[in-house]
Structure 1
Amino acid sequence: MAKYPVVVYGASGYTGMLTMDWLIDQNIPFTAVARNAKRAQEMMAQRVVRLESATYEIIEADHTVEALTHAFKGAKVVCNTVGPFVHFGLTTVEAALKAGCHHLDTTGEQGYMRQVREQFGELYAQAGLVVSPSLSYMYTYAEIAAELALEHPGIDALETSTLCRGPRGGAAGVTVGSTASIFELFRSEQCYLWEKKLVPHAMGTSFNIASPDFLSPVFALPWGGTSLPVYFENDPRVRSCVSCVGFYDNDVMKMVHAVGQKWESEYKFLPPEQQDAVIQQLVQSTTPTMPPRERTTITRMVDTAIGRGQLSAVRATVHGTTAYIATGALQTAAAIKLIDGDTNKVGFVSGSKAFGHRYLLGFLEERGLARATVTQL
């Protein structure tokens, strides 16, 4: 049973430890929950900044609804970083609900998000609780940009791009968990929003983003469709939303695209256990170990939303730095609101709708993690 208001589940993982960094910075006591308490303590001692000044405990728990419910009881908020969420997420969502906790996580996997909405959205709303997937750099920055565009009257169609640079210019620096989630997307339907309905992208869809932030076009992919079409599906302001993701290194993105095409031609109809083996091999070959902490001189991002109406158009851009560090900040910004019982909506809801996109943007701006610009087109 948790003694403190915030639970970080996935305590020995990269994103979980960065979330703890920010909770400590904001003087928020937390309970770290992990499958192996000894390993979690060792990893935290190596990686969590200012751990010596933190008020915290570590609880060991198996990944079952019963065990996690017992571990979460007594807390107000669960920050869940254990993925791939399509495999592990629903167990944690159910446990948080049974423990009477709000649930935040960091993924934009569309299949998982739609399951959360359909199976738990109304139950969380009835309990007066928030369940908010994808509260992370990817795709909250793009959602903030979209909300800034929607502030302008008449905007009802959105196109968003999430463009990132890591070490060596490409996707290096992505965590083991994120890599597993990326390759899991090959097994899932990838949708965009068109005329208020989710529509699957055509097989092999790609984009060439001619952004004013770069000299050359950036090769981008649907990246599972992103969380935005799901969140805007029932938003009366929005008729369509098409989103994509690209790394500055076009060769890296084209490699991922080629793997996706190979999946369609060779792996799609394999039994699930054989597909699991393929994904495990892909993860091990591309991300064998946990990456080092991000550097602001290397890890940079540009998230853009172009909003259009019948005669109006606007471009909103959020420039950012250190995507994973920013994710920890966003989790903490939301936890602060939830500890105080300050939320605009309950149930299945995005971070921007639950806490306000201006609040989240301000939290990031004050800490040097983002800046936004809006231009009429």
Structure 2
Amino acid sequence: MKIAVYGASGYQGKLVLAELARRDIDMRLVGRNATRLLEAATTVGTAAGAGAAQQRVADTDDHDALVAAFRGCDAVINCAGPFTSSGPAVVRAAIAAGCHYVDTAGEQLYTKAVFDTFTGDAQRAGVTVVPAANDGCAPGDLIAHLLAERVRSIEEISVSHFVTGGGGFSRGSLRSAVETIDAIKAGGLSYDDGGWRSGTPARHTTVTLPDAPRPTDVVKCPLSEVVTIPRHIPVRHVESHVDAAVAAQLDAPLTPGIIDSLPEGPTEADRRTQRFTYLIDAVSRDGQSIRGVVRGHDTYGITAVIAVEAARRLAADGAEPGVLAPAQAFDPTSFLTFLAPHGISWTITVSDTPTT
């Protein structure tokens, strides 16, 4: 098995390389800059025993070079954001090379565009594309499917992300935020009665965390679960939120110069202090509520674990060709169980009244 990593020299890309090396999976490093690729290969080879990993230089505006870089690999993991502008070229090249594809994107409109644009191409090529294989969308989408197995006729699903500690965002995450800032400030898409719509008022402005004495203020935010969940769960409404205090951090002006002056990403010590809680709250049409809770630490590190395992499973076991949500491509219980040794815990609680 060989897995190509696009954006291999970036912050998230290097974490993916380290995870591939830890699992002794053959890899090919692909990116825009030969010097940075060599540095990344040397770092992984020295630190994780990867040996002389292959390197290929290819930019997103050179389709033929990208296809050649991916050819001969079983899957591609794309870590190069901002995905909204550069991601489609990588998906297109992976499909043309006959490779399964996953990415670490957190950009909601990009995730929807992958479904809208590449489903037919992937089906015809016999490959599977799974966007947003990251710390939030993958476990959230998987556990939502388990909720739907417990409670039938779901009316509404609300997804909420809470992250504390961790030393802040990587430069790549900030660049993605800047590129999609209008969608972020507008709250992104909601799913309503069979379609995705922008400008829909939030149904929830507070969410109560497990064991919390009082509700926490939240704001609508464009999370990819809004795109993926309705593809495998019959539901009338899906919306997503983040902690209002965290969202306010993006109100500060960010220029390319400011971003370039920041550290590449959180240090390993900072990542160890980070904690996240993701809530998936569902309400059935008869008013019964059910909550899924995902807890863990180190969003960037667990994203690397999820992306590598998703690509490995596609390469080893296959899935239905096309563009799929995580819960369509993988068995939810099996994948979530795999994540447990990596610090991910999850629970499902059913109650008789809606969660607020």
Candidates 23, 27, 31, aligned match of 1:26:
23
Deviation at 1:55, TM superposition (A): 6.2
Residues 114-157 of structure 1: CA deviation (Å, up to 9, x unaligned) = 22222211110121111111001032222233222112132512
Q: Which amino acid aligns with 1:107?
A: A
Matching residue of 2:354: none
Q: Which secondary structure state, in structure 1, belongs to the residue aligned with residue 276 of structure 2?
A: strand
Residues 75-128 of structure 1: CA deviation (Å, up to 9, x unaligned) = 110000001001100111111111111111111322222222222111101211
Q: Distance in 2 between matches of 1:239 and 1:203?
A: 15
Matching residue of 1:361: 336
Candidates 323, 348, 352, aligned match of 2:299:
323
Residue 57 of structure 2 is aligned to residue 83 of structure 1:
no
Q: Distance in 2 between matches of 1:310 and 1:159?
A: 14
Deviation at 1:32, TM superposition (A): 0.8
Residues 245-268 of structure 1: CA deviation (Å, up to 9, x unaligned) = 238xx2x43242x45xx9xxxxxx
Residue 145 of structure 2 is aligned to residue 147 of structure 1:
yes
Deviation at 1:16, TM superposition (A): 1.0
Given that 2:141 and 2:229 are in contact with CA atoms closer than 8 Å, whether structure 1 keeps it comes out as no
Q: Which amino acid aligns with 1:239?
A: R
Candidates 175, 178, 181, aligned match of 2:176:
181
Of 356-365 and 51-60, deviating more is 51-60
Matching residue of 2:344: 370
Q: Distance in 1 between matches of 2:170 and 2:48?
A: 22
Candidates 206, 209, 224, aligned match of 2:207:
209
Q: Which secondary structure state, in structure 1, belongs to the residue aligned with residue 65 of structure 2?
A: helix
Candidates 304, 313, 317, aligned match of 1:341:
317
Matching residue of 1:226: 223
Q: Distance in 1 between matches of 2:115 and 2:64?
A: 22
Q: Which secondary structure state, in structure 1, belongs to the residue aligned with residue 80 of structure 2?
A: coil
Residues 28-59 of structure 1: CA deviation (Å, up to 9, x unaligned) = 11101122222222244446784324462122
Given that 2:76 and 2:100 are in contact with CA atoms closer than 8 Å, whether structure 1 keeps it comes out as yes
Given that 1:30 and 1:55 are in contact with CA atoms closer than 8 Å, whether structure 2 keeps it comes out as no
Matching residue of 1:253: 247
Q: Which amino acid aligns with 2:95?
A: L
- Computed over aligned residues only, the root mean square deviation of the Cα atoms, in angstroms, reads 2.6
Q: Per the alignment, do residues 27 and 228 of structure 1 end up closer, same or farther by CA in structure 2, a change over 3 Å counting?
A: same
Given that 2:73 and 2:99 are in contact with CA atoms closer than 8 Å, whether structure 1 keeps it comes out as yes
Given that 1:35 and 1:62 are in contact with CA atoms closer than 8 Å, whether structure 2 keeps it comes out as yes
Q: Which secondary structure state, in structure 1, belongs to the residue aligned with residue 5 of structure 2?
A: strand
Q: Which amino acid aligns with 2:36?
A: R
Q: Which secondary structure state, in structure 2, belongs to the residue aligned with residue 30 of structure 1?
A: strand
Residues 303-352 of structure 1: CA deviation (Å, up to 9, x unaligned) = 11111112322111111111111111111111221221332x22111122
Q: How many equivalent pairs are there?
A: 345
Q: Distance in 2 between matches of 1:364 and 1:289?
A: 26
Matching residue of 1:299: 274
1:252-271 equivalences under 5 Å are 252-256=246-250, 258=251
Candidates 280, 289, 297, aligned match of 1:313:
289
Q: Per the alignment, do residues 113 and 368 of structure 1 end up closer, same or farther by CA in structure 2, a change over 3 Å counting?
A: closer
Deviation at 1:237, TM superposition (A): 2.0
1:78-227 equivalences under 5 Å are 78-156=76-154, 157-167=156-166, 172-188=167-183, 190-202=188-200, 207-215=205-213, 217-223=215-221, 225-227=222-224
Given that 1:166 and 1:298 are in contact with CA atoms closer than 8 Å, whether structure 2 keeps it comes out as yes
Q: Which secondary structure state, in structure 2, belongs to the residue aligned with residue 27 of structure 1?
A: coil
Q: Which secondary structure state, in structure 1, belongs to the residue aligned with residue 102 of structure 2?
A: strand
Residues 216-274 of structure 1: CA deviation (Å, up to 9, x unaligned) = 54343333x21122123443522221111238xx2x43242x45xx9xxxxxxxxxxxx
Matching residue of 2:237: 240
What percent identity do the matched residue pairs reach? Answer: 26
Normalised to the residue count of structure 2, the TM-score between the two structures is 0.88
Given that 1:294 and 1:325 are in contact with CA atoms closer than 8 Å, whether structure 2 keeps it comes out as no
Q: Which amino acid aligns with 1:41?
A: L
Q: Distance in 2 between matches of 1:373 and 1:352?
A: 17
